[in-house]
Amino acid sequence: MKEKEILLSILRLSKEKDSFLAEELPVLAWIPKDFVLKYLESLAERGFLGKKEGFLTISPTQKVMVLVEALNHGVPIDVACKHVSWKDFELTVKNIFEVMGYETLLRQRLKVEKKGFEVDVLAVREDLILCVDCKHWKRGLGVATLDRIVKNQIERAEAVTKNLKKISEKAGVRLKENVKILPIIVTLVEANHKVYAKVPIVPILKLKSFLENFYACLKDFKVFQHT
């Protein structure tokens, strides 16, 4: 219970600033200071917070980590999500791809025959491009809504195949002639479907694991290939 209140207090404070003193946390009014400081130290040791010149720091990626930890401690998702923006979520997804060795492009505008598309994240390697839609969902979705979202993402992936030269130049990656394009949806919370219409739907906490293992299952997904 105390941990839940501390995590929520961090989220509220981090919406206004990316560094703060432990003494600024409102929970100190009703939770013993020794307990709060010990828990903050534990969060820092686990990488949920940073430290700099006596201040606690929190990056966009760490905000998402704290949010997920808050959910695990019983904070309602609609309450927790008020304090983490969709931009923080997109930056976290981008950072995970970069850690996994991809070049990334954020919020790319593409055009095909006068029709415009915007892709949240493009993760680029010489043989593969992941076309990523970041969904900062606060709750589960109905099938009709999910169907629309997936169809739109498939369209974006098709648009990527028509803009490879532009993407190659901006990412600084020389693409192979037979480069593959995979549409993927990354969510804040686990969806009811892991795959829909052959498009993987991956919760952010499982994204790194997915990237380590998905290539062996590529044949099971919706993949576009430029030849």
Per-residue pLDDT of the chain (227 residues; tens, 9 = 90+): 789 999 999 998 888 889 999 888 888 778 899 999 999 999 999 999 999 988 999 998 898 889 888 888 888 877 877 788 888 889 889 989 998 999 999 999 998 888 899 999 999 999 999 999 998 766 666 788 889 999 999 999 999 999 999 999 999 999 998 999 999 999 887 778 899 999 999 988 889 999 999 988 899 999 998 76
- C-alpha 199/C-alpha 154 separation (Å) is 8
- C-alpha 125/C-alpha 130 separation (Å) is 9
For the domain made up of 87-225, the CATH class stated in words is: alpha beta
Taking the domains of the chain in order of start, what are their residue ranges? 2-84, 87-225
| Helix residue ranges per DSSP H, 46-163 | 60-72, 77-80, 86-99, 143-161
What CATH number has the domain spanning 2-84? 1.10.10
What would the DSSP string read from start to end of 149-207?
Answer: HHHHHHHHHHHHHT-HHHHHHHHT----TT-EEEEEEEESS--S-SEETTEEEEEGGGH
- C-alpha 52/C-alpha 20 separation (Å) is 10
CA 150 remoteness from chain centre: 17
- C-alpha 19/C-alpha 17 separation (Å) is 6
- Listed in sequence order, the residues at least 6 apart from 127 whose beta carbon sits closer than 8 Å to its beta carbon are 175, 176, 178, 179, 180
The predicted model scores a pTM of 0.79
- C-alpha 153/C-alpha 185 separation (Å) is 8
Q: What is the pLDDT of residue 141?
A: 66
